[in-house]
Amino acid sequence: MPSAPESGVNGLGPAGRAPRRRSDRARLAVLNAADDLLVERGYAGVTIEGIAARAGVAKQTIYRWWPSKFEILMDTLLEDAESALAVPDTGSFAGDLRQHLRQLADFLSAQPAGRVLLALIGQAQHDTGEARAFQQRFGDERRARDRVIFERALARGDIAPGADLDLLADLADGPLYHRVLLTGLPLDGVFIDGLVDRVLASVSRPARSSS
Amino acid sequence: MPSAPESGVNGLGPAGRAPRRRSDRARLAVLNAADDLLVERGYAGVTIEGIAARAGVAKQTIYRWWPSKFEILMDTLLEDAESALAVPDTGSFAGDLRQHLRQLADFLSAQPAGRVLLALIGQAQHDTGEARAFQQRFGDERRARDRVIFERALARGDIAPGADLDLLADLADGPLYHRVLLTGLPLDGVFIDGLVDRVLASVSRPARSSS
Amino acid sequence: MPSAPESGVNGLGPAGRAPRRRSDRARLAVLNAADDLLVERGYAGVTIEGIAARAGVAKQTIYRWWPSKFEILMDTLLEDAESALAVPDTGSFAGDLRQHLRQLADFLSAQPAGRVLLALIGQAQHDTGEARAFQQRFGDERRARDRVIFERALARGDIAPGADLDLLADLADGPLYHRVLLTGLPLDGVFIDGLVDRVLASVSRPARSSS
Amino acid sequence: MPSAPESGVNGLGPAGRAPRRRSDRARLAVLNAADDLLVERGYAGVTIEGIAARAGVAKQTIYRWWPSKFEILMDTLLEDAESALAVPDTGSFAGDLRQHLRQLADFLSAQPAGRVLLALIGQAQHDTGEARAFQQRFGDERRARDRVIFERALARGDIAPGADLDLLADLADGPLYHRVLLTGLPLDGVFIDGLVDRVLASVSRPARSSS
DNA sequence: GAATAACCGAGACGGTACGTCCAGTCTTGAA
DNA sequence: TTCAAGACTGGACGTACCGTCTCGGTTATTC
């Protein structure tokens, strides 16, 4: 998180220098401007110059704290996704799964931060470095959280033992992302319910050997 | 299809004069140059000027026949995907599904044209117009072909009647794209086999009401 | 003269390519804009961006044809100095000298192109490369022309034989430049006349050995 | 004289408080850094940031005491020129003149401070305010000193009465500056001797009316 | 000897201009 | 009419400095 505000204890001991004093005003203005521009004009319409102008900030200030517009948008994503994508806890696997997918569907199709997420996924396809950054800063944590749902189900016995939880996560989230990223089909309630049913069905008994 | 090679009857009756004599040399040189540049330098490294220079072609010639680099790459994709992604016909649903997924996994993770596909999917997230073009020129036809697998399975009784075939397609392809586009996990045989098993399991009996 | 309009016979033989076709509109607009900016805002106020904006020209066009604002101003100087600084021919050494110095004084103190010349002399003190360019493109030719006055005087016998003509040129022009560049004293008629007298006096008999 | 080193008694009467405690270390470090940078990289290579970095001084400290790099260099010039350009007193006009010109030639062509002087003369052509500052802080005093030579000569009768001493100063120094600033010709002994002879010749009898 | 205030280093900030790359349009001359 | 060539306007890039503005820390009087 390159732009974390002086994260952690830097205790700067006896001889420590005061760290660079970053302007929070500038930081927030940049994140908001980037977010706005993305929604209004799309990823290509997000330019450092445009952000600087809209945020009332000098370009140099942006370059001082972020290496690219990708990272700026990553910061906005992380701030926004936190709240919108909490791990559900309804008491049942079916309930957790359904709520998880509904949240995700809503996030991706209706919220500004969802637009940011899609743009970043898109950009990650163009640049391996950015793909890696996306993975580390967003993907890994997301995966860990989503995994909780399946681990709880496993503990409860809702999933047959020995299941590959990564695969189950792909099975649940994959179809949803597939629609948004590729086919453009709607993420409505019918789709979510059908998907939940299929995932539950696929999970209720051990995977057979497919030979 | 902006760059269709002399598409259809261009009418021009008895006195008409052939309006355009498109150089096939130039066309192929452009497509190859774009392809090469994408693989070597990534999407941002594909520029019209770069293509023109490498193809030994004037920029104007490119603009005459293609509206954007997106469409150039789309043309290369369509030429290459045709052969690599044929509809399988093994005689069984499980067989068809597995072969379909293996083909797709190989295409996405090992072939140059797969790189092009990923780049275009990525770019489609940035521009609705290009997303639409992607859908029309690549997505719809793909979906129609893939659907064949499920229609045959339905006819054979391998899938319980009344199933939503779009959903099943999402269920099969989604996890695979999810891995490539988002998590970066490998598309190995274990994954494919597990996925096939789960899809078969989810499909072998009617979807319950999910209440 | 980097921006000479396709100078000379380029006869491009049988296989010759047509040379780059330069826009004269852009060229003149740039030279005028640079000239105007210099007069209005001084040398530091002449910026490539400013010239481009005022000339209605793209920065790239400027960089295509000129390496620096110094060379742009050099071009304007050369175009303007030609007419204003013709070699006088009055029939007498005193007359030639006086007219030469009057022309020069007027040029330096009253004409826009004189401002350009002073700015370039100033800039040449900051950069040896530009000093060299100034010498080659302006100085050498100027010196050759001014020399004519002294050569004629020598031929006529107005100057004692054996005189160092370079020194005489320094003696005539130096005091004038000294005033403009260093002391700021006026270049009025009194000064010119006094200077002419002194030069004539210094020249009317052979330089003694100064031991 | 913006940066006079705690000039004179600053009075501060009975109740006055010493207003500023200027760090001499910083002052000298700045002057040296500026001087070095000028010699190494030329006038454009002298930047406030560069001086600050090299001098180990904060930019603010520089801006506290100097309004511009021009004034910094002016300070270095004044400190260095004092000793190098003393008024000669050889007993004869010819001797004084020759020694004066030799000193000046050496200063301009061989000493670091001469480089500074040339740069400041150059810069003065670009900015009238700086030209004025140059005049006041360097020019006027210089002129007053040089005048002494001619005043002594006048008193001694080496110069015909009624001569315009300003003109004579231009006549002596002008050719020398002309060579350095414009033509780049060498300031060698031959040149100096020839110049001295010409000036003496021009001065030994009253200037005629030049009609 | 403590208080205090100007000085100092460091460097973030809003800006301007730099010189470069590429976009997309236009014009020329050859095939 | 198409093509290679490349000049044109224009927008954004990432960098270098500008001059201003806090920050704490240091230091030299003054109480």
Question: Could you tell me the CATH number of the domain that includes residue A25?
Answer: 1.10.10.60
**Phi, psi at D192, each rounded to 5°:** -60, -45
Q: C149 and C52 in one domain? A: no
Write the pLDDT tens digit of every residue in A90-116.
999 999 999 999 999 999 999 999 999
B90 and B152, same domain (yes or no): yes
Q: For residue B208, tell me if it sits in a domain.
A: no
Question: How many interchain CB pairs under 8 A, A with B?
Answer: 175
Other CB atoms closer than 10 Å to residue A188's CB: what's the count? 11
Residues of C in contact with D166 (CB under 8 A): 183, 185
Do B55 and B114 reside in the same domain of the chain?
no
B109 touches strand E (CB under 7 A): no
Q: What is the model's pLDDT at position D108?
A: 96
B20 and B118 in a single domain? The answer is: no
pLDDT tens digits, residue range C69-122?
999 999 999 998 888 888 999 999 999 999 999 999 999 999 999 999 999 999
Domain membership of residue A25 as a residue range: 9-68
* Residues of chain A (128-167) having a beta carbon less than 7 angstroms from strand F: none
Is the shortest CB-to-strand distance from A63 to strand E under 7 Å?
no
Q: What's the mean pLDDT in C61-65? A: 98
Does residue A197 fall inside a structural domain? yes
Residue B44 lies in a domain: yes
Given a contact as 3+ CB pairs under 8 Å, which chains touch D? C
pLDDT of the residue at B82? 82
Domain membership of residue D208 (yes or no) is no
Q: Are residues A102 and A13 in the same domain?
A: no
CA dihedral B99, B104, B110, B111 (to 10 degrees): 110
Tens digit of each residue's pLDDT (9 = 90 or more) over A49-87: 999 999 999 999 999 999 999 999 999 999 988 888 889
Q: How far is Cα C133 from Cα C139, in angstroms, rounded to an integer?
A: 9
Domain for residue A90, yes or no?
yes
Boundary of a domain, candidates D23, D43, D68? D68
Cβ burial, residue B47 (10 Å; 0-12/13-18/19+): middle
C30: distance to nearest CA of chain D, Å?
A: 20
Q: Chains with ≥3 Cβ pairs under 8 A against B?
A: A
Nearest to D167 among C127, C139, C198 (CB): C198
Does residue D17 carry a pLDDT above 50? Answer: no
Domain count, chain B: 2
Q: Is the pLDDT of residue A4 over 70?
A: no
Of D43, D139, D207, the CB nearest to C194: D207
User: Chain C residues with CB inside 8 Å of D128's CB?
Assistant: 42
* Whether residues D94 and D53 fall in one domain: no
Is residue A100 located within the same domain as residue A26?
no
Q: What percent of chain D has pLDDT over 90?
A: 78
CATH number where D142 lies: 1.10.357.10
Residues 6+ apart with CB under 8 A from B153: B93, B96, B159, B203
Ordered alpha helix ranges (H), chain D: 24-41, 48-55, 59-65, 69-84, 93-110, 112-124, 128-134, 140-156, 165-178, 189-203
* Cα distance between residue C207 and residue D198, in whole Å: 7
- For residue D203, what pLDDT band results from cuts at 50, 70 and 90? confident
Determine contact: B171 vs chain A, CB below 8 A. Answer: yes
Angle B153-B156-B158 (CA atoms, 0-180°, nearest 5)? 55
Alpha helices, DSSP H, located in chain C: 24-41, 48-55, 59-65, 69-84, 93-110, 112-124, 128-134, 140-156, 165-178, 189-203
Q: Is B211 among the domain residues?
A: no
Q: For residues A50 and A90, state if they share a domain.
A: no
- Average the pLDDT over each of D56-60, D85-89, D176-180 and give the range with the smallest value: D85-89
Chain B nearest C-alpha distance from A61 (Å): 25
Average pLDDT for D45-70: 97
| CB proximity D43–strand E (7 Å threshold) | no
DSSP symbol at C136: I
Q: Let me know whether C131 and C190 are in one domain.
A: yes
Kindly state the percentage of chain A with pLDDT values over 70: 87
Mean pLDDT rounded to a whole number for chain A: 89
Same structural domain for residues B168 and B133? yes
Touching chains C and D? (3+ Cβ pairs < 8 A):
yes
- pLDDT mean by block of 10 residues, chain B; 211 residues: 38 39 86 96 97 96 96 94 89 96 96 96 97 95 92 92 93 98 96 96 65 42
Contact D178 C191 (CB under 8 A): no
pLDDT score for A203: 86
With CB atoms and an 8 Å threshold, state whether A44 touches B126.
yes
Q: How confident is the model at residue A9 (pLDDT cuts 50, 70, 90)?
A: very low
- Among A4-13, C24-33, D144-153, which is the least confidently predicted range? A4-13
Interatomic separation, CA of residue D171 and C1' of nucleotide F22, rounded (Å): 55
Task: Say yes or no to pLDDT of A11 above 90.
Answer: no
Same-domain check for residues A53 and A134 = no
Query: For A18-30, how does the pLDDT look when each residue is reduced to its tens digit (9 = 90+)?
Result: 556 899 999 999 9
pLDDT at B51: 97
Nucleic acid strand F: bases within 7 A of protein CB: 1-25, 28-30
Q: Is A118 at the interface with chain B, CB within 8 A?
A: yes
**Is the domain of D142 the same as that of D195?**
yes
Return d(Cα A150, Cα A163) in angstroms, integer. 10
Lowest mean pLDDT among B13-22, B81-90, C38-47, D60-69: B13-22
Q: What is the pLDDT of residue A91?
A: 93
Q: Is residue C152 part of a domain?
A: yes
pLDDT of residue A18: 52
How much is the pLDDT for A210? 44
Judge whether C1 and C137 are in contact, CB under 8 Å: yes
Q: What does the pLDDT average to over C139-153?
A: 93
Nearest CA in chain C to D180: C125
**Contacts with C90 from chain D: Cβ below 8 Å:** none
Contact between C184 and D131 using a beta-carbon 8 Å cutoff: yes
**Assigned domain for A2 exists:** no
Please give the pLDDT value at position C5. Answer: 38
* C154 interfaces chain D, CB cutoff of 8 Å: no
**Over 60: is that where the pLDDT of A166 sits?**
yes
